[in-house]
Amino acid sequence: MPGHRSTPTSPPSSNPSHATAAPAAGSPRTSNTRPPASRRTVQAAELPAPFQQANGWARPAAADTDRADAATGTLAFVQQAFPDGAAEREELVRGLLTPHAQVSPKYFYDMLGSHLFEAITELPEYYPTRTEATIFEQHALEMAERAGTGAVLIDLGAGNCAKAARLFPALRPAQYVALDISADFLRATLVGLQQQHPGLPMVGLGADLCAPLDLPPEVRAGRRLFFYPGSSIGNFDPSGARALLDRLRDAAQPGDGVLIGVDLLKDRTQLVNAYDDALGVTAAFNRNVLVHLNRVLGANFVLGDWCHVAEFDERAGCIRMYLECRRDVEVHWAGGGRAFHAGERIHTEDSYKYRREAFSALLEEAGFREPVCWTDPQGWFAIFHARV
Ligand code: AVJ
């Protein structure tokens, strides 16, 4: 594929001045009416025993005191998203009752769903994770040069934290703040990661990126690098992505930056195969959302009634995933229910793909300056850096 550039490139922009832009009309920024989630710091002593022991929080032997003290002081965990399950249940039921039923993709990531997503990243068809990893491998030092070392690294959608951890040597962050909707999965990951990096202070944040970014006091002052790898930003449509970038810019100070992984538009077959793999792992990942619904809503979805569908919407530039009902069914949950006809669908995920120029423009429209990007030789994936 032509046009490969292995050095940072500044895609053309028609908007170099980018004065602070008003949010687009109808932007989710203004439509988010959820009250700020309550916040609670989990003290080491409150964590279940396995976490305490795994992290050296159990009373240390005398010789281990220094290390154990360091560990005790360096991992805090703050839960912001869904402190009570009621808001989550309400949102889920509202989505199921709309004529075109939908469930937000953030509900994929319960414990099993998070593991299934890790399995997806190993599939031959799922190119984004490994392609992004090669770009980081190839260009980590240039990225560090551009972004600066010693910043507070804020990982938005950390998952298993592997991508950030591989950048620690190049970025040498002053603190690592890992944010994820899947708090239990994140907590377990961070406990292990803290042991591997005892000198690096870490904060875990169970938070929903659809809400305004509210960094707790555990996050240090100082220059920040917002890290959003994996093309997770693709779950938002372009105006939602713009709203997220606006929220980031609002949370940022001059000198801060963003480092964002973005999946690029490419051949339709390659895209569809990445979301409909031969082993059926993506199908399992998709159908697992019904397991989640059965658990949190007390619903009675029968998994065999639903099949996985992945389609590429060429006009919108996104992969759309659905669960399609094989026959007429009635589903019940605590306090309600609905009928689904054969062929009816529940929309579970959109995954938007960009052209490099389009994503650069989005960054600039949100008020970020000097976007550059690094890509792989095939031009499948791009990592952008931009400054506030
Ligand atoms: C984690 C949102 C980037 O859109 O590629 C993978 C999720 N869904 N296979 C993506 C996903 C189905 C993934 N993101």
- Tens-of-pLDDT digits for all 388 residues of the chain? 333 334 444 443 333 333 323 333 333 333 333 334 444 444 433 433 333 333 323 222 322 222 333 344 488 989 887 667 898 899 999 999 999 999 999 999 999 999 999 999 999 999 999 999 999 999 999 999 999 999 999 999 888 899 999 999 999 999 999 999 888 889 989 999 999 999 999 999 999 888 888 899 999 999 999 999 999 999 999 999 999 999 999 999 999 999 999 999 999 999 999 999 999 999 999 999 999 999 999 999 999 999 999 999 999 999 999 999 999 999 999 999 999 999 999 999 999 999 999 999 999 999 999 999 999 999 999 999 999 9
Whole-angstrom Cα distance, residue 248 to residue 28?
Answer: 14
Do the beta carbons of residue 237 and residue 135 sit within 8 Å?
A: no
Do the beta carbons of residue 138 and residue 209 sit within 8 Å?
A: no
Do the beta carbons of residue 281 and residue 308 sit within 8 Å?
A: no
- C-alpha angle 120/282/92, rounded to 5°? 115
Containing 132, the helix (H) or strand (E) segment is: helix 127-147
Q: Where are the domains of the chain?
A: 69-85+119-266+354-387, 267-352
Do the beta carbons of residue 88 and residue 82 sit within 8 Å?
A: yes
What is the torsion angle, in degrees rounded to the nearest 10, for the CA atoms of residue 3, residue 240, residue 133 and residue 283?
-110
Whole-angstrom Cα distance, residue 241 to residue 233?
Answer: 6
Q: Which residues of 265-287 are buried (b: 16+ CB within 10 A; e: fewer)?
A: bbeeeebebbbbbeeebbbbbbb
Residue 307, judged by CB atoms within 10 A of its CB (0-12, 13-18, 19+), counts as middle
Pocket mutation for ligand 1, best pick of 163, 351, 352, 353 (most atoms within 8 Å of C-beta):
351
Whole-angstrom Cα distance, residue 309 to residue 324?
Answer: 7
Cα of 157 from ligand 1 centre, angstroms: 12
The structure's pTM equals: 0.81
Residues 6+ apart with CB under 8 A from 218: 41, 76, 78, 203
Cα of 55 from ligand 1 centre, angstroms: 30
Please report how many Cα atoms fall inside a 13 Å half-sphere around the Cα of residue 278, on the Cβ side: 4
Which atom of ligand 1 is the closest one to the Cα of 230?
A: 3
Residues with CB under 6 A from ligand 1: 120, 128, 230-232, 234-235, 275, 282, 285, 349, 351
3-state secondary structure of 232: helix
Largest CA distance in the chain: 66
- Which residues are registered as beta bridge partners of 351? 319
- Which residues are registered as beta bridge partners of 318? 313, 352
Cα of 96 from ligand 1 centre, angstroms: 21
Q: Whose CA is nearest to atom 13 of ligand 1?
A: 232
Which atom of ligand 1 is the closest one to the Cα of 128?
A: 5
Cα of 314 from ligand 1 centre, angstroms: 17
Pocket mutation for ligand 1, best pick of 114, 160, 318, 349 (most atoms within 8 Å of C-beta):
349
Q: Quick one: fold of 69-85+119-266+354-387?
A: Rossmann fold (3.40.50)
Q: Whose CA is nearest to atom 9 of ligand 1?
A: 275
Cα of 121 from ligand 1 centre, angstroms: 9
